[in-house]
Amino acid sequence: MPQLQLLRPDHAPGLLAFERENRAYFAASIPDRGEEYFARFDKRHLDLLAEQEAGVCYFHVLTGAAGEVLGRVNLVDVSDGSHELGYRIAERAAGRGIATAAVREVCGLAAGRYGLTTLRAATTLDNAASRAVLARAGFTVTGETQLSGRPGLTYLRDLEDFCAPRADL
């Protein structure tokens, strides 16, 4: 069973390998990260850790039994108790319910550990798998959008049905 972990410095090599191995797969449904992303990966990883330490974003990796990165689920752009949800699952792990389980787990963390009340998300109309994950995880469509020039939908997930935030975490 894959394990969701908060991003750490030692995840960098596995995360870079994950992004490289799945680059073409991801580019088929979401905008490509570009060469600059890979050239400056180490600095970007440190920047993400600093954002996480500051509490403005929460980055998670989904690891397999051998510790390999199978996906990532991120909460970015904090605003009034809400974050934007984003996720990527490796091609070899797709279609097995892993994304839905990971998104649901992050919803629970968002409410219980991070004290959030809602999550926002968006996906392109042609990304049927992502739309299905969001629907299964309890997100509802709130409107239309453009994502890198492609038509898409925006979503919202109220987190009140998850545990209330705990002050001791």
pTM reported for the whole predicted model: 0.90
- Whether 125 maps to a domain, the answer reads yes
Rounded Cα–Cα distance for residues 80 and 52 (Å):
17
Tens digits of residue pLDDT in 88-119: 999 999 999 999 999 999 999 999 999 999 99
What one-character DSSP code corresponds to residue 163?
P
CATH number of the structural domain spanning residue 52: 3.40.630.30
Tens digits of residue pLDDT in 37-75: 999 999 999 999 999 999 899 999 999 999 999 999 999
**Owning domain of residue 45:** 3-158
